[in-house]
């Protein structure tokens, strides 16, 4: 691997290999990745951190790195059209002014 982009290269390789592991499955140890790819421990750590930031991997100190479970898809937003009507400025002309007469 090239020195200048070894983190990105390693992250790309690991990203492609994630399909080998079931969700929650343990990835190889950092030491095994260092030996396999002939990179420094810092490079492995940064590549795993990049995958964790993407939500693909979960790292647990002392336990290792694991394939992240798929995130549940968000439910579609409910009907908020009533809020648009209530908050629109169209009905503002019908409102009573909020000034106080001090006389």
Q: How many CB atoms lie within 10 A of CB 56?
A: 15
Question: What three-state secondary structure class fits 16?
Answer: helix
Q: Which of 2.40.37.10, 2.60.120.1360, 3.40.630.10, 1.10.10.10 is the CATH number of 6-67?
A: 1.10.10.10
Question: What are the pLDDT digits (tens) for 71-81?
Answer: 777 766 777 77
First to last CA, the chain: 83
- Domain layout of the chain by residue ranges: 6-67
Please say if the pLDDT value at position 21 is more than 80: yes
Q: By percentage, how much of the chain surpasses pLDDT 90?
A: 58
Question: What are the pLDDT digits (tens) for 91-103?
Answer: 555 666 667 777 6
Q: pTM for the complete prediction?
A: 0.65
Per-residue confidence (pLDDT) for residue 18, from 0 to 100: 93
């Amino acid at each position: 691997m090239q020195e200048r982009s070894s983190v990105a290269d390693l992250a790309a390789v690991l990203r492609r290999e994630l399909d080998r592991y079931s969700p929650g499955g343990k990835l190889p140890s950092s030491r095994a990745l260092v030996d396999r790819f002939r990179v420094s421990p810092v490079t492995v750590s940064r590549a795993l951190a990049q995958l964790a930031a993407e939500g693909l991997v979960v790292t647990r100190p002392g336990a290792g790195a694991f394939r992240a479970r798929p995130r549940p898809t968000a439910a579609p937003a409910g009907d908020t059209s009533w809020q648009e009507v209530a908050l629109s400025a169209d009905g503002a002309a019908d409102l009573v002014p909020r000034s106080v007469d001090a006389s």
